[in-house]
Amino acid sequence: MQTPLQVTLRGLAHSEELAVHLQQRVEKLERLCDRIISCHVVIGLQGHHHHGNRCQLTLHLVLPEHEIMVHDPPQDEHSSESATAKADRAFDDAARQLGHWVERQRERRHERAAK
């Protein structure tokens, strides 16, 4: 990546374990595609009440002439899913989208070469 991973936490304390986990997930994406320009992950709590903290996550990947945005809101008002679990689901979704983008790029290159 041209720009280091950016992580923004809203309402959460810094966690070295989470930071390492996010970095490992970005590295997996980079193995799928070495053209990723930047990745920004925003993790925040939505509401602080006795039913638990509702975590939401947004992942933004920037590629040449393309962007991938994954938004994973809280599942329901009683959900207290961990930030790591949210990140895994979001990165899995981003990997699927990235795979489709890589395949489209490959098809376009073949079409141009065939002309």
Q: What is the pLDDT of residues 58-88, one digit of tens each?
A: 999 999 999 999 998 876 655 567 899 999 9
Q: Which amino acid is at 87?
A: A
CATH fold, domain 6-114, is: Double Stranded RNA Binding Domain (3.30.160)
Residue 16's pLDDT band (cuts 50, 70, 90):
very high
pLDDT digits (tens, 9 = 90+) for 27-64: 999 999 999 999 999 999 876 554 556 789 999 999 99
Which of residues 113 and 75 earns the better pLDDT score? 113
Query: d(Cα 10, Cα 30) in Å, to the nearest integer?
Result: 26
Core vs surface per residue 54-91: b (16+ CB within 10 A) or e: bbbbbbbbbbeeeebebebebeeeeeebebbebbeebb
